[in-house]
Amino acid sequence: MNALSDAIAALARAGALREVDRAFARLLRRMGASADVQLAGALAMRAVALGHSGFALNDARALLDELGVGADADVALPDAGAWADALRASPLVGADPDASAPLVFQHGLVALRRYARYEKGLADALRARSGDAGSGIVSTGDPAENAALARLFALRPGTLDRQALAAWLVLRQRLALVTGGPGTGKTTTVARMLALLAARSDGLRIALAAPTGRAAARLAEAVADALARDVAEGRLGADIAARVPRQAQTLHRLLGWQRSGAFRHDASLPLPFDVVVVDEASMVDLPLMAKLVDAVAPAARLVLLGDPDQLPAVEAGDVLGALCAAAGDGESLPPALARAASEALQATVPETGFEPGQDHAAPLAGHRVHLVRGYRQANAAGIAALARSVQHGDADEVLERLRAGGDGVHWLDTGASGFGANVLERRLETGVLPQYRALAQAEDPQAALRLATGVRVLTALRHGPGGAHAWNAWFAQRLGGGDPWFRGRLVMVAANSYRHGLFNGDTGVCWPDADGSPVVWFEQDGRLRPWSPGQLPQHDTAFATTVHKAQGSEFDAVWLLLPRADSRVLSRELLYTGLTRARSALHIAGSADAIEAALARHAGRVSGLGWRLE
C-alpha cells in the first residue's frame, strides 16, 4: 500500500471520511485511477457534504482542519505540485465540466463533475440573463410609471430611497438581487414593484416562492400586508393590487418535483410566469438554484431576495454570496444606471438622485441594490445594533453591547464564575416554559400556532448535551410527562413530503380531534389540516430548533443557546442568523469565549461560481 492509499486509510480511521467517500475512491480505483486521483475523489465527495462545491488543491489541509484532522495527525498529503500534475494526466479528471470524466480540476479546484456542471450552467445562464445592464445606456422609462413609483414610495425632494431604486431597476432588468438585513423592507419593495409591473399588463403572470413552506407563507403574508397598507393609505389602487398574487409556494412545488427526483420544469419546459420572485435566497443551494434559473423563461424576470450575512444553504454552495460578490456592494450604481435612475425620478420629484459608483467589469454590476434602513426592530434597537456589530466581526463591541444589555438584548454569560449547570434550566423554566404551557390552553390549534411564534429556543447544534434534541426532550418531559403526543406539542417536518403537502420546516401543533384522538394540525393554504401521528413524514419536536432550521422564520422572543465548548459550526453567520430571528427580545446564553470563537469563524464555502461568472 503506497503513501496516498495510507492517507485514505488514515482519514478513515480518524472518522474524516464516510463510507460513501471511500466507496467513491474504490470506484475510481476500479476505473483505473491512481492513488492520488482516488484521494482527490474521496475529498471532493467529502467536501460536498460540508457544503463546498469542491476543495482547493493548494489548501487541502484547510479541508482536513474543518474535518477535525489536525496537522499532527498521521495523514500525509502529497506535494501540491505533483498532485496537480497527476490529476491533469489522468483520463478520469477533466479540465472542464463538459468532459465525461467523473472529476473536474479547474482553477485549482477539484470537484465532482456534477457540481462543476451546476456551477458552469448557472454562471452561463446568469450572464446571459444579466446582459450588459451595468455598462449600457438604460432607458429612463415611462414618465407615468415613474410618477407612480414616486407616489408608491412617497419620495420627497432631496431624498435617496434605495427601495425605490430597487423597484426602478427591477422594472428594467431580467435579473435583480434585492438584499438587506431583517426588516429592511425587501418584501415591501417587491410588493410595490409587482404592482407597478401589474399595472403594465392585466395578464401578468407572477410566481412567489421560497425554499421552505414557512418562508413561503411569510413571503405571501408580507406581500399581502404591504399591498393592503398601500391601498388603505391611497398610494395604490385596489384594482391594481388585486393583480398581484397573495399565495407563495416552495421552490420544489414551483418547479414541479416528481417521484423520480427530477423536476417537471427546465429549459425545455420553462415555468409559465413572466416574473419569478424568490425570497430567502441565501437558503437556496447550488443544485436547486441551477435548476431554478434553468427553468425561468429567457424573457421572464427573476428577482432574488435575501440577506448575504445569514448562514448559507445547508447543502452545497453559497450561491447568494457569490452573486453578491459578482454584483458589488449594491450601495452604488454604475454611472450610466445612476444617471438614468436619477433622471427618471427627478422628472417627478426634484433633487432625487442616486450615487454613481465606478465603471468596472464586475459580471453582475448594476443588478443588485442593498437595503440598509431597518424597520422590523424599531422597538428593539439593541438587537439591530448588536446585529451590525456581529456583521462587522468586532468582538469587543459585541461583548460590550451584550454586557450593557437593554433595548431587547439579554445575555446569560455561561462562562462567568459561579455559573452552574442548572442556572440555564431555571431561566428557561421561568422565561420559556410558561409560554409553551400556554399553547395547550389556547382556544384552538390555530390560536396555538399563532402563540407559538411568540418564543423559540434556538441552538447551534442538533445533537449533544446542548443540542436541539436534548432540549426538546427536556421541554417534552416537563410539558407532557410520558405522553409523546400531548396537547400543545410543537412538531416540525424534517423532510419534504409532496404526498402530504408538507415541507421541511413546516411547523404544526398536536391537538385532539373531535373524538379526543391526538392529531397534528398544520396551516396549509390558509386553512388548518389535521394529520394523525402515524401519517406524518419524518419530523421532530420543535420547542427547540437549530438556527439553520429557523431560517425563514421570526419570533417575538428568541433564546439563542450556544455550546459550552467550541465547535466548527459556530460562526459569525450562525450568530447573526440566530439573533436576527428575534423581533423584540433576544436572550443569548453563551460564554465570551464561545462568542469570540463564533465571530472569528466564517461559514465560508469553497466554490468556483465566482470565477465562472467572470
β-strands 544-546, 455-459: how paired? Answer: parallel
Q: Which of 568, 589, 551 has its CA nearest to residue 466? A: 589
Sequence spans of domains, the chain: 6-119, 162-328+369-376, 381-600
Name the more confident of 348 and 472. 472
Beginning with the edge strand found earlier in the chain, give each strand of the sheet holding 206-210 in spatial order.
Answer: 249-250, 206-210, 275-278, 301-306, 175-180, 368-371
CATH 3.40.50.300 is right for the domain spanning 381-600: yes
Architecture of the structural domain at 162-328+369-376: 3-Layer(aba) Sandwich (3.40)
Q: Is 184 part of any known ligand binding site?
A: yes
* Superfamily name and number for 6-119: RecBCD complex, subunit RecD, N-terminal domain (1.10.10.1020)
Report whether 586 contacts 409 (CB < 8 A): yes
What is the pLDDT at residue 316? Answer: 84
140 labeled part of a ligand binding site: no
Question: What is the rounded distance in angstroms from the CA atom of residue 285 to the CA atom of residue 559?
Answer: 27
Please give the sequence-ordered ranges of beta strands (E in DSSP) within 57-211, or none if there are none: 93-94, 103-106, 109-112, 175-180, 206-210
Consecutive H or E run containing 250: strand 249-250
Most confident residue range from 10-14, 24-28, 603-607:
24-28
Q: What is the mean pLDDT of residues 12-35?
A: 90
| Strand-by-strand arrangement of the 93-94 sheet | 54-56, 109-112, 103-106, 93-94
Residue 132 scores a pLDDT above 60: no
Q: What is the pLDDT of residues 165-176, one digit of tens each?
A: 888 888 888 999
pLDDT grade, residue 1 (50/70/90)? very low
Q: Residue 42: which of 70, 6, 68, 71 has the closest Cα?
A: 6
Is position 481 annotated in a ligand binding site?
no
Length of the chain: 614
pLDDT in tens, 511-569: 988 888 899 988 866 678 888 888 888 889 999 999 988 887 889 999 999 988 777 88
393 annotated as a binding-site residue: no
Task: Tell me the longest C-alpha to C-alpha distance in the chain.
Answer: 78
Residue 181, φ and ψ in degrees, nearest 5: -70, 180
- pLDDT for the residue 523: 80
User: Could you report the per-residue pLDDT of 576-593, keeping only the tens digit for each?
Assistant: 999 999 988 999 999 898
* Residue 182, marked binder: yes
Q: Does 381-600 match 6-119 at the fold level?
A: no
Is 330 annotated to bind a ligand? Reply is no
Would the pLDDT of 135 be above 50?
no
Q: Model confidence at 133, in pLDDT bands (50, 70, 90)?
A: very low
Residue 582: enclosing H or E segment and its boundaries? strand 582-589
Q: What pLDDT is recorded for position 317? A: 80
Residue 217 pLDDT grade (very low, low, confident, very high; cuts 50, 70, 90): confident
